Structure 1
Amino acid sequence: MRTLLLAAVAAAFASAANAQAPVAPARAAPAAADWRTPDPNDVLVIDTNKGRVFVEMVPEVAPTHVARVRELAREGLYNGRTFFRVIDGFMAQTGDPQDNGQGASEKPNLEPEFMFRRGGDLPFVLAFDQAVAEQGFVKSLPVTTQSMMLAPMTRDGKVAGFGQFCRGVAGMARGSEENSANAQFFLMRDRYPSLERRYTPWGRVIAGQDAVGAIKTGEPVAAPQDRMERVRVLADLPEAERPKVRVIDPNGAWFKAEIARVRNLKGAEFSACDVNLPSEVK
């Protein structure tokens, strides 16, 4: 079985659902230098019956899972797949050729990438230094790692890290075995930290989260079900119809000021999940 296996989902859901953060005064718009253009080979374009969703894949954190999703998208396996398990305040699951949580592709299962190694060459932007741990961003993905002060004491000069399952994060579904991920994936509708270090996060929605939130709920979803009508890699779209996508650069001055603003607003409850990344699609 390749459905998400979570113990005591109802109880965990009650504790994991976030209250809405207080609204802070609006800031000045980002300048041109505050934006970045994602690699089109790392952007998944999901056309659903609820709208278009753009997911930035992050191979720096989960290289084999990103390669698998990209491969299956290019083979057309995801076209027409339903969202067969959708839980409000949690996630929307899809990508099953059988559309019921029991199926997989013909490719071998994947080894887990629940954790990654962070070295000095990883494009990490610090959001919160917790002395022994650091929260920040690798591209659009919020992550937590050990403090880099520990790196000189490790054999490879790196520290351990994991992706945070914030709203919009894309993760790979699996069965009871840790190495059973194959084709199914899910898009987070809310923050759910109990998934961290137990499932592989491989990207994040950078545009179209409203469409993810509009998907019909159910466990399983009653017919008719919402679906992914077509899934493509942005680089594969014909030039004439390829949208221009840009997202806030975590290294930019605007985003670093936004981190400071939100940290001041949230205080001791601050998490990298609280910081939104504006994007534009034209």
Structure 2
Amino acid sequence: MVTKAAALLACLLGAAAAAEPYQVEFEITLKKGEKAKFTVEVYPDWAPLGAARFREIIDAGIWKAARFFRVVSGFMVQWGIPGKPSAAAEWREKKITDDPVAKSNERGTITFATSGKDSRTTQVFINFVDNKNLDGMGFSPFGKVIAGMETVDAIYAGHGESPDQGRIQSEGNSYLKKSFPALSYINSATLVISTPPKDEA
């Protein structure tokens, strides 16, 4: 017997998979006074639930001023904890189910971070290199950087993994600004609707 929850999940998966790819343009501050951009294209057929959550996050605008708090050279750059503790607390409870891994974690792909099974919320990372070892761990890419990868490569990496995620969650940007003022951060994340070209008559 199919439960209502299972039927709803199947419906959501089907709807997300049918969605068209879309793009998000990020404007970020690399260091004081230096701004740059990169663009991510999202493919719902790679990871339907992840793609839908990413769109939800962009629509909600919770990443404004969010810091790139974990930057590991030769591995990846991670962000996604809202700068306001109230928003972080709200979204921390909005976990989504895992997507199957349909695309490898190649350089430039974007993937949700997790803390265990079905634990994805708002944290994502971009792979600096091919990290195919993450595929077998259940990390499912939902998009890739299509412009400005040089910007991603230039995100400040001097603090490595030093920022404490628990304190970011509870204290927000006030903690990061005081303890890690050099961190790069997001100024804006703007949705770009991509309309496929129509066939010529």
TM-score interval, normalised by the smaller of the two chains: 0.5 to 0.7
**In the TM superposition, what whole-angstrom CA distance separates every residue of 1:79-133 from its partner, at most 9, and x where no partner exists?**
1110000000111100111599xx5615620111133xxxxxxxxxxxxxxxxxx
Deviation at 1:49, TM superposition (A): 1.3
> Is the 2:64–2:83 Cα contact (8 Å) retained in structure 1?
no
Q: Aligned partners of 1:212, 1:94: CA distance in 2, in Å?
A: 12
Q: Aligned partners of 2:195, 2:68: CA distance in 1, in Å?
A: 25
Q: Aligned partners of 2:92, 2:146: CA distance in 1, in Å?
A: 29
Deviation at 1:220, TM superposition (A): 2.5
Letter in 2 for 1:52: K
Q: Aligned partners of 2:49, 2:195: CA distance in 1, in Å?
A: 24
Deviation at 1:200, TM superposition (A): 1.9
Counterpart of 1:220 in structure 2 is 162
**In the TM superposition, what whole-angstrom CA distance separates every residue of 1:232-252 from its partner, at most 9, and x where no partner exists?**
2113xxxxxxxx999xxxxxx
After TM superposition, the structure 1 = structure 2 runs for residues 116-155 of structure 1, keeping only pairs within 5 Å, are none
Runs of 4+ in 1 over 6 A off after TM superposition: none
Give RMSD over aligned pairs. 2.4
Counterpart of 2:98 in structure 1 is 112
Q: Aligned partners of 1:186, 1:99: CA distance in 2, in Å?
A: 20
- Provide TM-score, normalisation by structure 1: 0.49
1:183 equivalent in alignment to 2:168: no
1:169 equivalent in alignment to 2:109: yes
Task: Pick the structure with more helix per residue.
Answer: 2
1:211 equivalent in alignment to 2:151: yes
Q: 2:139 aligns with which of 184, 191, 199?
A: 199
The verdict on how the C-alpha distance between 1:111 and 1:225 changes in structure 2, with shifts beyond 3 A counting, is same
* Aligned residue-pair number: 150
> Is the 1:84–1:99 Cα contact (8 Å) retained in structure 2?
no
Q: Percent sequence identity over matched residues? A: 26
Residue 50 of structure 2 aligns to a residue in which SS? Answer: helix
Q: Aligned partners of 1:212, 1:99: CA distance in 2, in Å?
A: 24
1:48 equivalent in alignment to 2:28: yes
> Is the 2:63–2:83 Cα contact (8 Å) retained in structure 1?
no
> Is the 2:62–2:82 Cα contact (8 Å) retained in structure 1?
yes
Q: Aligned partners of 1:229, 1:245: CA distance in 2, in Å?
A: 25
- Provide TM-score, normalisation by structure 2: 0.68
Letter in 2 for 1:192: N
Q: Aligned partners of 2:92, 2:114: CA distance in 1, in Å?
A: 15
1:68 equivalent in alignment to 2:53: yes
